[in-house]
């Protein structure tokens, strides 16, 4: 084994992963080569110092754990509510429920995000700069997303999120007194016709285009939600 | 059973995940968001977790993916060593601060492998899975990271010595 191999295999040796048949020649080289032995010794010393400096601090994660538990409880409740809503919806329109099996999770996630992030203003990293928002929209080959809202509303901020296990652009519009979420994700087969869904106290309306699926979520009335969605569908 | 297994296998990792996330993001609130998101994603996809595989490696993989997917940028704020050393700090405390400062000043890739490999105790093979890169890449990053850290510490010591000499 030569010095170059010692340098290459050093990380495996130090992590205890070097196979037995290579460990003996590795150690034999260290016994003969002062330079390589010194390199490995320095690396062990630096590892020990690093471990000592960083491992001693173990932050209190209680607040994070509690937040996760709260969120899990809310999600389970929403999933249950969404499943119940889907059952009612299926009873009214079995055809749609059978055709769009993923709808319940999709709408439940959208309703939950709207509730927690928009209505309850849980802290998130929103983008307010129009240029940054346009960059996010460009991922869906969209531009001028500020024009998706009817008169009186303006685009407040946006961010990327995940709904139904897939990435989506979350846009928030406001008219000063109400806030409306619009979720846009790559087309997965939603009905092109604008249709309304209720999840808890949230009203949602979904529709699809050739490229994207969109969901509008509000805490207002079903009529307002549908009106907003029809306007956005016209623009898209 | 699902919830019990999740609580038993995943939740105890929260403090370690938070320590790693803080070092990765150099941003305490951002790190808490990242860990919260990681654990929620783990909960949502816990059924995909295969019994017998390492729950820790699985969690760290989710965390690292979330960190990169959302375009989070590590914000390293250089802090003067003198500013961080409290009056009367002993030599062990000073050494730890020097090490922390040197670590924070490393490029993200180097910091990541050192934290995973040295602090969190993952093997090169596990890191290769966590970071989704070949094991050879992990090995070369580890070597370069250790070298950079050593150089940063040497420079830091030399600078501190220089300042003391001026005074």
Task: Record the pTM.
Answer: 0.58
Chain B CB contacts of A124 below 8 Å? 33
Residue among A8, A9, A50 whose CB faces B119 most closely = A50
What pLDDT sits at residue B128? 95
DSSP B25-43: HS-HHHHHHHHHHHHHHHH
Lowest mean pLDDT: which of A65-79, A126-140, A191-205? A191-205
Kindly tell me if the per-residue pLDDT of A1 is higher than 80.
Answer: yes
A8 interaction partners in chain B (CB closer than 8 Å): 139-140, 143
For residue B17, the chain A residues in CB contact (below 8 A) are 61
Q: Which residue has the higher pLDDT, B88 or B163?
A: B88
Q: Cβ separation of A50 and B125 shorter than 8 Å?
A: no
pLDDT at A84: 84
Instruction: Give residue B161's pLDDT band: very low, low, confident or very high (50, 70, 90).
Output: low
Closest CA to A155 of A177, A121, A136, A182: A182
Tell me whether residues B33 and A123 touch, CB distance under 8 A. Answer: yes
pLDDT average, residue stretch A73-78 = 87
Euclidean distance between CA atoms A52 and A227, whole angstroms = 61
Can you tell me the mean pLDDT for B41-69? Answer: 87
Cβ-defined contact of A11 to B143 (cutoff 8 Å): yes
Q: What is the pLDDT of residues B62-73, one digit of tens each?
A: 999 999 876 665
**Of B18-22, B80-84, B117-121, minimum mean pLDDT range:** B80-84
Give dist(CA B20, CA B38) in Å, integer.
Answer: 12
Do residue B95 and residue A53 have CB atoms under 8 angstroms apart?
A: yes
**How do residues A143-201 score in pLDDT, each as one tens digit?**
889 999 999 999 999 999 988 888 999 999 999 888 999 999 988 766 677 788 888 78
Q: Taking an 8 Å Cβ-Cβ cutoff, which residues of chain B contact chain A? A: 11, 14-19, 22-23, 29-30, 32-33, 35-36, 39-40, 43-45, 69-71, 95-96, 99-100, 103, 114-115, 117-119, 123-125, 138-140, 142-143, 146, 149-150, 153
Q: How confident is the model at residue B46 (pLDDT cuts 50, 70, 90)?
A: confident
- pLDDT band at residue A4, thresholds of 50, 70 and 90? very high
pLDDT digits (tens, 9 = 90+) for B8-32: 888 999 999 999 999 888 878 888 9
Q: How many CB pairs under 8 A join A and B?
A: 104
Is residue B116 within 8 A of residue B103, CB to CB? The reply is no
State residue A199's pLDDT score.
Answer: 81
CA dist B107 and A11 (Å) reads 19
Contacts of A63 in chain B (CB under 8 A): 32
Q: How far apart are CA B149 and CA A61, in angstroms?
A: 28
Could you identify the residue written with the tokens 């919830």? Answer: B3
Q: Look at residue A21 and tell me whether its pLDDT is greater than 80.
A: yes
Contacts of A135 (CB under 8 A, 6+ apart): none
Q: What is the DSSP letter of A120?
A: S
Cβ of A71 and B36 within 8 Å? yes
Please state, in angstroms and as integers, the Cα–Cα distance from residue A83 to each residue in A107, A199, A200, A201, A218, following that order.
10, 9, 11, 15, 20
Looking at the predicted structure, is the pLDDT value of residue B86 above 90?
A: no
Mean pLDDT of chain B: 83
Per the CB < 8 A criterion, the answer to whether B115 and B20 are in contact is: yes
Instruction: Considering only the beta carbons, identify the residue of B22, B118, B125 that sits closest to A51.
Output: B118
> How is domain B1-75 classified at the CATH fold level?
Rna Polymerase Sigma Factor; Chain: A (1.10.1740)
Q: Would you state the pLDDT for residue A101?
A: 47
Element at A27 (helix H, strand E): helix A20-32
- Say which residue the tokens 């607040």 belong to: A63
- By C-alpha distance, the chain B residue nearest A79 is B44
Cβ contact B115–A54 (<8 Å) = yes
At residue B165, does pLDDT exceed 80? no
Query: For residue B142, which residues of chain A lie inside 8 Å, CB to CB?
Result: 10-11
Residue of A55, A60, A64 with shortest CB distance to B35: A64
Rounded to the nearest angstrom, the minimum Cα separation between A159 and chain B is 9
Q: Chain B partners of A49 at a C-beta cutoff of 8 Å?
A: 95, 99
- Cα separation, A153 vs A179, whole angstroms: 9
Facing residue for A68 by CB, picked from B39, B138, B140? B39
Question: What is the predicted pLDDT for the residue at B51?
Answer: 73
Contacts of B140 in chain A (CB under 8 A): 8
The whole-angstrom separation of Cα B76 and Cα A62 is 25
Q: Say what the pLDDT of residue B162 is.
A: 55
Domain with CATH 1.10.10.10 in chain B: 80-167
Which positions in chain A have a beta carbon within 8 angstroms of at least one beta carbon in chain B? Answer: 7-12, 15-17, 42-43, 46-47, 49-61, 63-65, 67-68, 71-72, 75, 123-125, 160, 165, 167
Topology annotation, domain B80-167 = Arc Repressor Mutant, subunit A (1.10.10)
Residue B53 has pLDDT above 70, yes or no: yes
Average pLDDT across chain A, whole number: 87
Q: Which residues pair with A219 in a beta bridge?
A: none
- Please tell me the predicted confidence (pLDDT) of residue B92: 79
Question: Of residues A178 and B50, which shows the higher confidence score?
Answer: A178
């Amino acid at each position: 084994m030569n010095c170059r191999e010692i340098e290459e295999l050093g990380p495996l040796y130090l992590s205890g992963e070097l196979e037995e048949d290579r460990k003996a020649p590795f150690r034999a080289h260290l016994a003969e080569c002062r330079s390589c032995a010194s390199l490995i010794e320095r690396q062990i010393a630096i590892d020990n110092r690093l471990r000592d400096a960083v491992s001693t601090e173990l932050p209190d994660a209680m607040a994070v754990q509690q937040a996760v538990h709260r969120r899990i409880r809310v999600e389970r409740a929403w999933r249950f509510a969404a499943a119940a809503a889907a059952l009612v919806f299926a009873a009214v329109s079995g055809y749609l429920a059978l055709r769009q099996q993923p709808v319940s999770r999709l709408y439940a996630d959208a309703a939950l995000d709207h509730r927690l992030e928009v209505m309850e203003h849980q802290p998130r990293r929103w983008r307010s700069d129009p240029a940054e928002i346009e960059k996010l929209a460009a991922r869906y080959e969209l531009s001028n997303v500020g024009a998706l809202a009817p008169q009186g509303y303006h685009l407040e901020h946006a961010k990327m999120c995940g709904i139904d296990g897939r990435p989506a652009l979350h846009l928030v519009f406001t008219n000063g007194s109400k806030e409306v979420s619009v979720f846009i994700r790559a087309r997965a087969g939603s009905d092109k016709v604008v249709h309304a869904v209720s999840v808890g106290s949230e009203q949602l309306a979904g529709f699809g285009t050739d490229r994207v699926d969109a969901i509008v979520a509000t805490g207002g009335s079903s009529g307002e939600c549908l009106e907003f969605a029809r306007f956005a569908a016209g623009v898209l | 059973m699902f919830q019990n297994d999740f609580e038993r296998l995943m939740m105890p990792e929260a403090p370690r995940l938070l320590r790693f996330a803080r070092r990765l993001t150099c941003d305490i609130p951002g790190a808490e968001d990242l860990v919260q998101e990681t654990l929620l994603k783990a909960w949502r996809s816990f059924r995909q977790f295969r019994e017998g595989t390492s729950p820790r490696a699985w969690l760290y993989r989710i965390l690292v993916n979330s960190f990169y997917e959302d375009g989070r940028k590590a914000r390293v704020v250089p802090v003067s060593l003198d500013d961080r050393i409290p009056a009367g700090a002993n030599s062990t405390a000073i050494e730890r601060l020097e090490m922390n400062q040197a670590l924070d000043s490393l490029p993200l890739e180097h910091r990541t492998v050192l934290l995973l490999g040295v602090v969190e105790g993952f093997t090169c093979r596990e890191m290769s899975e966590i970071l989704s890169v070949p094991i050879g890449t992990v090995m070369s990053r580890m070597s370069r990271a250790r070298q950079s850290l050593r150089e940063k510490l040497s420079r830091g010591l030399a600078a501190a010595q220089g300042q003391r000499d001026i005074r």
